[in-house]
Structure 1
Amino acid sequence: MTKLPAPEPFTFTGDPLKFTEWRTCFKALIENNCTTPAHRLFYLKRYISGDALSVLEGTFYRSDEDAYTQAWDALNKRYGHPFVIQRAFRAKLSSWPKIGPRESLKLRELSDFLVSCKNAMPHVHGLGVLDDCEENQKLLQKLPDWVTTRWNRYVTKALDEEKPYPSFTEFSDFVAEEARIACNPVSSLHALKNADEKPGKEQKRLKASALAQNVKPITKSLSALEREKGSKPSHSATQDKKQIECVCCQQNHFIYKCERFAAMPLEEKKRFVINNKMCFGCLRIGHISKNCRKRATCNICRQSHPSPLHEECFQGGKLEASPDERASTSLCCVGMVNCNRTSMIVPVWVSCATKDSPETLVYALLDTQSRQLD
């Protein structure tokens, strides 16, 4: 006996159907072995949680016998009253879902609950209402049609013999017998159906579900491409839009519409794209511009680069370029790795070395065949 685990009651959370069982366990295992009210209140609080614990708020500030008695009076009125218990039984029966013609296991679950109702009827007097034929008719709507047909034969035979309508005890025994036959492990339809299922079919279902899971992210990327091209988003694309997260600011938009990324200087944008392993052709993660198949088109110069990476070389009639960029051969420097759009004619500001000399904008032709003189 010393090697067996110590018995203890389960925790009561406020279900009236479990209150009587929990009360019996607590009084047998805790109350009879504790002599002081303080210990009893301690264990009472330990084995109560949820809504039941809120009933005893304020009781545990004391540790006398009156506090312990007051706690049990509150619990008995809230969960142990026969009317409360029979209402809980009937509410669970009325909310029981309809059982299909081939759902043998669910029929057995209902049968087990009907047997528990039958066993509680002698102790909960309000459950005697289940003997009424109107209540029995409500329960028949939960059963499969083939069970209802067999019960109809049973009732009709009893009425033809001038017997009273069968009681709830007879009904629960009848359903229990039908559930036992329907769940026979060898010859029932449920057993034959499980025997026909082969492991190969189950594996095929698992593969199909795995493929369906792999298709989901691909659909999400295609929806993103449709939005980028300006096409009208579909219903699935609208749902995926909520899951978009900007790489720069972690907001719900693409990086094309990110104001923080647009406000960065060009060099800082280039470093950001490189550090986040993004493509210079479409600003997506996972490939480089050399392998990009969906290059974006600039909305400003209509060249093959994303609009946030566009750099204006002219603004207000003046050349907006740094001294190091004046010799660049590209009129639109987008910072792409394999940019092949260049020009041999570049604008140059010409002025004298004297002070306050006016500047003149001219176009210079670059000669790539020239060589440096000694």
Structure 2
Amino acid sequence: EYLLIIHKIATTKGDLENIRVVPPDAKVKPISIHRPALELPKFSGERDEWSSFYAIFKSAIEDDTSLTDAERLQYLVRCLSGPPKDSVKNFPIIDASFVPAMKLLKTNYSNKRLIVHDNLEKILSLPQMSSESAPALQKMLDQTYQGLSVLKNEGQPTDQWGTIVTHILIKKLDPKSRELFESQQSATEVPVYNDLIQFLTKRVGSLRMLTSTVPKHTKSNEKFSGKHKSVASNLSVSSSSCTLCEGEEHNLWKCPKFIAMNISEKRSLVQSRHLCFNCLRPGHGVASCESSDCRKCHKKHHTLLHSDNQKSAPSPQEGPKEVSPEASVATLYSNVKGGQVLLQTAIVKVQDRFGQHHLIRALLDNGSQATLISEDCIRRIKMPRSHANVQVTGVGSTQCSSSRGIAHLTLGSHFDPAFEIKVSALILSSVTGFLPPKSCAP
């Protein structure tokens, strides 16, 4: 144990001799840490950018006491481009040139009146939006925010401008966005600036979501573009079946019972059976009928419904036309004799432009070559449309209607939330007439 104690004392003594005592007033050299080089800002002459540029340049270069004014001038020239660089590039690189060069730049770009003027113009000259667009709305928000921020930094009372700026922005909105905003506002209260900004921010997000979720149908659009094309649609037509005699093989206008009625009785019958006043057939109205007019007054009603006191009937809008043989395609149809046919329908979900679901009734037409949707339905779900000039043909190569565009829809099941299908539907003024012609139990 004695030898072990002697060994520990000798070891400890050697360690103590290696310890250096540093005087209290001695300076300790700090450990050098490598930092990434600071990237200097660039300035091209935009007055809005001068304040931020000069703040960084002053901190990094102008206040650096290790640099000479000649070196500061070299750094300054490297940071400039365009007109600012042209104004100082001829200064000689000497210490005496830095101060006048910086003074010249401040005179040109640190002009408070010009800065305020430019940023007021930035807000007042916002472009008028003609249609809803996420990029255009985002640009409006950015331009307004940037302008107000600079004006506030210049000491302008922007906090008191909410009502004025709100009025300017509302006037610049596209009709649809303005309608949506106004629908959320009180009829008597003044709109609040923050409410408008919050609405526009959400609106941008909604439009971007719609753009990203609506599929691109390039091939589909090419398919419907250019030359007029026609598609077949499955039609349900009645043969020479009288709606008054319940199955007799003759048309209504040849029916002795109908001919024997007075004008008032005839009109009541046509109206109750949902028949066309012009051709006395079911499935469409006067507006879409192009059968021959009244032979007595040439108005849009059947000759058997003519009255000397009859006021002029509505003008036709569209109806059957012969389609050139090369443009027509075959079609299927149901030949109805002596009775009525109930066509298959289903309740389906369709997404509107905001991603909300609506329940609509779909007519299941197994013989149709195209998906059709009515103009009224498109307006209710507010879906955008693309141009498509397509003729829809039916029996006998007759043109039933011309499309008013094409819409890309997402349909879903009313019972299975996981089921979805994307379709491209031609838009028609109407898909069917009054169906079924007679009322029936569900």
Higher strand content, 1 or 2 = 2
**Under TM normalisation by the shorter chain, which class is it?**
0.3 to 0.5
Higher helix content, 1 or 2 = 1
Question: What TM-score do the two structures reach when normalised by structure 2?
Answer: 0.37
